[in-house]
Amino acid sequence: MATPSESDRTEQIITLFLHKALHAVLASRIPHLHLSAPRPASASARDRWFHLALGDLPAQIGHHGAVMDPLVVDILLTPRGDTDDPTGSPEAVVERWTAQCVPPSPWSAAAPHHPHDGSWHRKTYKKSIILLRSLYALLRLLPAHRIFRLLCSSSQPYNYDLSYRISSFVAPFSRAEEAELKQYSFAPVETLFGQLVVSVQHRPSLANFNLEVSSIPPMIITDYVGSPAADPMRPFPSSLPERVSRPIMHQYPPTGIRTSAAPSFDRPHSWNSTPLAHHPLSSASGAPVSEIGFLLPDHYGHLVPNQRPMGERKGSSGYNELKLSPPLSTSASPSPPTRGGDSPQSRFHLETAPVSIPTGKSQHRSPNLSDPFKSLLPPPSPRSTRADPYCQESPLRSRSFRKSEGSNLGDVCSNVHIYAAHKGHKDGRDDSGRFSALSSGGSPRYGFSRSSSRLSIQDDLDDGDFSYPFAVDDVDTSDSQARSFDGKEAPEDTLSHKSPEYGSSHKSQEAEVGILVHMLKTAAPLRQGQGSLLSSESNAEVSMSSSVMSRKTCDALEELQSYKELKNLLLSKSKSGSLDSVKQRRE
């Protein structure tokens, strides 16, 4: 008769053997359990049982039945994909591992001989060691192990996945199923309570399962900005499977478009004002399309209207607000935006881009001569219609009001800026005249208009003045004096609007740069004069924009310093001249 300790030990051995067997099976069949269970360098006390260190299984996985309850582990090959597809194959049991302690039949004549020396559990334990070794080795020889290795090693999902089912009592296989299976049973281990039996029913071949890389499309990055080579005007697909398109939170916080299901709205294409119009997740109110243009990377633009309230619709309001914000580009990559077909962009283009160097004074007369102070005033409101005339004007004509403006000082300063902007240019001509025009009275207006809009050559090209960024400019650059010293606004005004003038990248920035370079090359030399003011320099705005774009701040500052000195000199001379006149009067 076995001692209580013998029974306890045997029960403990059987329980832990079943747990270990379960561990060996799952670790060799279930990829996520295999990968997520790192084997520690030193085996724990529990892991050292049966002299087979396998690591630890998750605590919730184990044999939780009674010691005499069988352990049945089904290894299932589950098709991955649309579970709602009725034509898909159901999951299939590829292996069924059964481990249990079978009590001796009461009617068996040959009862096992149990020694009373307390060594029974030791023998059970030692034999269990070998049984586990055999189980472990056999797991690697069965066909399912090949699939397990494939799933573990491949980074791509397959159309099938291995899963498991643990139970104590399962329905036996049907005859048809059993006919497809092969069975292997290990030699039983005698225990105090009966025979510890481990067996497996497995499919001899899994060739019927066409294991291949899953045809389910990978997860779509819905906020992908795209590349220059991509079609920026391509609308979002209207039938994205929900399972596939998993919204991804990108780095830019959603700044105005809030849909519960689509944080991917936050990074639309800058060149597509309605990128998500066709998106199935767009709400009934629709995505505020114009707001998409406002969702900026921080390094783009200085005014990021990301406080835009939600639900604000696209349209002229959005466009008008855009006027106050710098050139917007939602693209983090230097992808050249193509033309947007929507009006806000076109408006920007019309407003902003004096891309040609005016040929002469008379060519670029603005109809706004009657309002010489317009250039000094910023657009009163985002909804101002002041931009509209500009939109209609040719950029060449927008500078005509400059004749009435300017002072020596302002002109000198403007010359400074313009010259500095042009410093890097290799053209040997004196561009002072041209640059001064940029800082003329017209420039603030232009600057403001450009600040409220975006520097873009798109509409200029559309207007027919320039069909190509590098097209030949027809501006006459001979009369540069007429274009210089045309502004009264302080350099700061010019500078303050410098940045807004840099275009929104409605069209390619490269095109803009090309046009400006061309302008600089063909521009008339800037003439340094002390009193000659050219009231109207139609190319002043254009060259200012180009000079401002091209010059560097350090160069500008250097030139500013030099012209300040010149200014001081002139002032001193004028003062001395005035003093002389006073003295003469006194005399």
What are 316's two structure tokens?
A: 């002229």
Query: How does 434-469 read in b/e, with b if 16+ C-beta sit within 10 Å?
Result: bbbbbbbbbbbbbbbbbbbbbbbbbbbbebebbeeb
Task: Give whichever of 56 and 555 is closer to another protein, judged by the CB atom.
Answer: 56
* Nearest-approach distance from CB 104 to another protein, in angstroms: 19
User: Tokens for 17?
Assistant: 């053997």
Q: Where are the beta strands (DSSP E) in 353-422?
A: none
**Closest separation between CB of residue 52 and another protein, Å?**
6
Q: Could you count the other beta carbons within 10 Å of the beta carbon of residue 556?
A: 22
Nearest to 432 by CA among 474, 482, 397: 482
Nearest distance, CB of residue 304 and another protein, angstroms: 55
The DSSP element (H or E) to which 96 belongs, if any, is strand 92-102
Rounded to whole angstroms, the Cα distance separating 490 from 439 reads 8
Q: Do 438 and 540 touch, CB atoms closer than 8 A?
A: yes
Classified as helix, coil or strand, 97 is: strand
**Shortest distance (Å) from residue 292 CB to another protein:** 52
Least gap, CB of 179 to another protein (angstroms): 21
Task: Report the residue number, 143 or 280, with the smaller CB distance to another protein.
Answer: 143
Identity of the residue, 64 or 140, whose beta carbon is nearer to another protein in the bound complex:
140
Q: Which is nearer to another protein, 134 or 530 (CB)?
A: 134
Query: Rule CB under 8 A: which residues touch another protein?
Result: 9, 12, 16, 39, 43, 45-46, 48-49, 51-54, 121-123, 125-127, 130-131, 133-134, 136-138, 140-141, 145-146, 149, 186-187, 189
For residue 561, give the 3-state DSSP assignment.
helix
Distance from C-alpha of 568 to C-alpha of 527, rounded to nearest angstrom? 19
Q: Which is nearer to another protein, 171 or 207 (CB)?
A: 207
CA atoms of 174 and 21, how far apart (whole Å): 26
* 223: its two tokens: 């906020």
Tokens of 145: 């192990």
Minimum CB distance to another protein, residue 507 (Å): 57
Cβ proximity to another protein, 124 vs 481, nearer residue: 124
Shortest spacing between CB 60 and another protein, in angstroms:
20
Nearer to another protein, 101 or 353 (CB): 101
- CB of residue 120 to another protein, shortest distance in Å: 12
**Residue 145 Cβ, how far from another protein at the closest point, in Å?**
6
CB of 67 to another protein, least distance (A): 16
How do strand 160-167 and strand 182-185 relate by DSSP bridges? unpaired
Which of residues 125 and 348 has its CB atom nearest to another protein in the complex? 125
Q: How many CB atoms lie within 10 A of CB 187?
A: 11
Shorter beta-carbon distance to another protein: residue 52 or 61: 52
Contact indicator for 574, 447 with CB cutoff of 8 Å: no
Choose between 146 and 573: whose C-beta lies nearer to another protein: 146
Is the separation of the CB atoms in 442 and 540 below 8 Å? yes
Instruction: Determine the Cα–Cα distance for residues 537 and 298; give it in Å rounded to an integer.
Output: 36
- Both tokens of 579, joined, read 């003093």
**Alpha carbons 547 and 520: distance in angstroms, whole number:** 8
